[in-house]
Amino acid sequence: MAEQGAATQRKLWFGEYDLSGDMNAMRLSLGAARQDNTRFGDDTEIGAGGLTTILMEHEGIWLAGSDSVDEVLSAQMAVADLPISIGPETGADGEVGYLFRAMEGLYMPINAGVIGSMHRFRVSAEGSGGDRAVRSTIMHNATRTATANGTARQLGAVTVTQKVYATLHVISASASDTLDVIVESDSASGFGASPETQITFTQATAITKEYQTAAGAITDDWWRVGYTIAGTDPSFEFVVLIGIL
């Protein structure tokens, strides 16, 4: 993969909202607490990996109004297990992403409000729900008006000790229409063998978000997103990330 160079695009899907255009600084920190495992007879410290941590810290330009970044972040304060997905590149299908659940613990609507400067804000959230952040693949990021399947990608099999993780972010939805999204697997790239539905998201009739998992073992190594759209004049913008851990 080519060097990314100067950061001009990053993607943040925060629940059912795309807040990317409000941000100008993003940080995702994944860690593990070091535990001392040194014992009598050892002459050097021995460490062991402890609990993992997720910390998201972002800054941006403040904006008020309906569905604005201020309204969204104010409403999500202290709400646990919010599905969040981050795209470190442009957010295009096939790119790397990170998905996790978190609780917003800090929202600073006035951050360094100095006269003459832009009105900046700061937000941070930490992992909740008991799962680690999952390095994933952006499987779908587009607006759709008709039923179809997404691009098949060889993400790998899921061992008996692993899970497949997926997030769905429905960013916009036409009124009185429906969207059904599934995650399928198969042993062949053309999905002509025996496709299996591994995850079924709740039907969407408005903007929404969802985080789901499916336990291994799953021997199929090809994956895709399927979506069924119905209604009189349907249009849905939605994002799906899939990862295995």
Same domain? 21 vs 65: yes
Q: pTM for this structure?
A: 0.92
pLDDT category at 113 given cuts 50, 70, 90 is low
Q: What is the CATH number of the domain that holds 197?
A: 2.60.120.260
**pLDDT tens across 132-179, in order?**
999 999 999 999 999 999 999 999 999 999 999 999 999 999 999 999
Domain boundary among 98, 127, 156: 127
Q: Is residue 41 part of a domain?
A: yes
Max intra-chain CA distance, the chain:
74
Angle at alpha carbon of residue 141, lines to 85 and 174, rounded to 5°? 105
Q: Which of 34, 28, 208 is nearest to 126 (CA)?
A: 28
Collect all residues with Cβ–Cβ distance below 8 Å to 166 and sequence separation of at least 6: 99, 183, 199, 201, 211, 212, 213, 240, 241, 242, 243
**pLDDT tens across 56-98, in order?**
999 999 999 888 999 999 999 999 999 999 999 999 999 999 9
Average pLDDT of the chain is 94
Structure confidence at residue 4 (pLDDT): 55
Same domain? 83 vs 189: no
Amino acid in position 200: T
| 115 pLDDT above the threshold of 90 | no
Measured from the Cβ of residue 34, the count of other Cβ atoms closer than 10 Å reads 11
Q: What is the CATH number of the domain that holds 37?
A: 2.40.30
Structure confidence at residue 114 (pLDDT): 73
Residue for token pair 């709740």? 202
Secondary structure class of 21 (helix, strand, coil): helix
Structure confidence at residue 112 (pLDDT): 67
Note down the domain range covering 102: 11-127
